[in-house]
Amino acid sequence: MKAGAPGVFRQAPGFPAFLTDQQEKGSTPMPIVFHPQSRTFHLHNASISYIFKVLPSGHLGQLYCGKALRDRPDFDRLFETAPRSMSVCYFDGDDAYSLEHIKQEYPTCGAGDMHLPALDAQMPDGSRLLDLRYQKHTVTPGKPPIEGLPATYAEQDSEATTLTVTLADPLAGVTVKLFYTLFEQLPALARHAEIACTGQGPVQLDRAMSLCLDLPDSGYEMVELTGAWARERHVTTRPLAEGVQAVYSLRGHSSHHFNPFLALKRPDCGEMAGEVYGFSLVYSGNFLAQADVDPYHVTRVTMGIHPQNFRWTLRPGETFSTPEAVMVYSDRGLNGMSQTYHQLYRTRLARGVWRDKVRPVLVNNWEATYFAFNEEKLLTLAAQAKALGIELFVLDDGWFTHRSNDHGGLGDWEVDTAKLPGGLKGFAEKLNAMGLQFGLWIEPEMVNAGTRMWDEHPDWVLHQPGRRPQPSRHQYVLDYSNPDVVDFLYRRLEALLDGVPVSYIKWDMNRSISDAFSCAAGPAGQGEVLHRYILGLYRLYDRLTSRFPQILFESCASGGARFDPGMLYYAPQCWTSDDTDAVERLKIQYGTSFVYPVSSMGAHVAAVPNHQLDRVTSLTTRANVAFFGAFGYELDLTQLSPRGQELVARQVEFFKQHRRLLQFGAFWRLQSPFAHNEAAWMTVSPDRETALVGDYLILQQVNAGYRRIRLAGLDPSRLYRVTPLGSGAAPCGQPYTAGGDELMQAGLVTTGGSQAQHEGDFVS
């Protein structure tokens, strides 16, 4: 083992989907209980309780959210009120009953709550006053879908139970249904709202959050995933303070800058122990996730579509559904939160035949050739890939006409027969004859100036007539809020793919949205454009994945600019970042794992010097990082030395042998690259018979101290055979046995016998 290269503990021949500790031990039936006398709802399973009630005023009051409690006929003692000066009181003479100070489920404007609300709307008479009160509720087995939107699901009714609470304001002509789905075996609660216009005139929605939770104190630290292009999803932690702290996107997509996620953890919460609440939005567009702390230290968490540039008209009889927000509670630290998201999103958000299948080892030609290729060059690269054991060849940008650079060609999607004389079909068949699958890059949301689409359909481009639209990467955004555009692109892509043996699609989006004006929406519809764009995107994805269910779709947005739960519903993996440097990927993949499963992270071995940073890392280190993801290569394999070819062949063989464990095992973060010169993580099989550890020393240190890592997730009663691995994932050093308790408590020693001190920086 070289300074802690991946180490394998007994390989299991196969195993089922990952189970939580609660599932292994068994758990009590999961009820959603309504106590009519106290008018209290208790949503609980073996891990979590969520309690709220119908208040005397008819509003919904939040009582408790956290570790599972035994059910009781009432929890009224948890309802807190106190007289506050300058407060608006709901009942005359009751100075303590003010909606400003009562913790609520779905607060609105106008009834005395002076905080930022969950719902803000304008009625036909110009009023913004809303007073939503309880009408009825239903409890149903299973989980209903959300029309037109991605969402988690239950394959069997026994997996989840859904509570629907109906609130109404008859004077305003507004009815709201709040949906709560509690999963049987997970500390996860999925929420969304459905808002209906039940009056005589239209209602304008200006703010419609998916989730609101009032917590009784502010003793938390807020964890965010922040960054920019090529350094996405870095972990940032800050203590809560009075006022609003938020993450958001106004870029038309979820963005490189902030992920649609936040967590509130207690200050003593770490990776392995402590209390944390996670909040994740199943949406790919503009979002807002915020914690608003009032002067009395109550923390209001809201999450949903960003209200900026959003205005939705509800006409009589129409409804609007918010995206789904998923709240996870963990008293087992940040790893406990993450493993819940991993299991839920991998098995009950991702769909299709590729949800549970191991992913093929691929080579992508982008960093090997960029635009400068022809069929002969590609087939030479493909032949080398096949010889090394690679299974899938992905043809990236540059395969269509007028595409020798990124200035032209987007929008017409006509194969460049000068590069591919037999077209896509002919090229794919040649790959198949070699024994390789064929994958293809597309960017169907964009258009270049000067293309036929640009000239024939200028109204299909997002822009305000009379105003020059602003380019980015020499391209412009198509108006997916216009159904005609989506229908045209479906027909064009269907014709392009039909009859071609395509196994994989990389769907890219290489710019943010500006000039968000739709020529088809009319003056009153411009506030709906950005949300309708995302609905159009989802509709096109849904149609294509239904038409071509055998294709593995990977979403991409200039790397990780749209790595969000909404995309996982259609594409079970995402290109994690355009930054392929192994050292930077430690941070990117570490942060991404806070919410997203390893199987969703596209991770490739790239050339050195790295094309983003010019950093040189060993082929072994690059692979040892990329193993923990949807594994592949993005370099010119024909330029490898004989030694390099030997290493790649061994890496591919090793990954194939262990990919079910790597992609679908329980992932544990052990040491943070944001806090240490060493990063470490591991994955464990559900039966806890097998584990693989990745340990990465970033910079060498002179005369350094001892190094060991405490492992996690093992069976403390078992003996494990520990096999250190070196170059090409080949065994190195002497295998030995150690108890699971020893490895988790005393740790895995990564110093004695290691030769890492002689190998320079960036060792794994």
Report the catalytic residues: 508, 578
DSSP character string of 179-198: EEEEETTSSEEEEEEEEEE-
- What distances in angstroms separate CA 631 from CA 307, 349, 600, one per listed residue? 38, 21, 10
Distances (CA, A) of 746 to 392, 630, 740, 743: 42, 32, 10, 6
DSSP-assigned letters across all residues of 186-234: SSEEEEEEEEEE-SSS-EEEEEEEEEEEEES----EEEEEE--TTS-SE
* 3 state SS for 621-634: HHHHHHCCCEEEEE
Asked if 506 contacts 439 with a C-beta cutoff of 8 angstroms, the reply is yes
d(CA 752, CA 704): 12
Is residue 696 within 8 A of residue 763, CB to CB? The reply is yes
Q: Which residues pair with 319 in a beta bridge?
A: 196
Paired strand residues for 393: 363, 438
**Cis peptide bond prior to 609, omega within 30° of 0:** yes
User: What type of residue is 517?
Assistant: F
Listed in sequence order, the residues at least 6 apart from 99 whose beta carbon sits closer than 8 Å to its beta carbon are 57, 59, 88, 90, 107, 111, 112, 113
How would DSSP label each residue in 329-355? EESBHHHHHHHHHHHHHHHHTS-STTS
Strand partners, 62: 52
Give SS3 for 639: helix
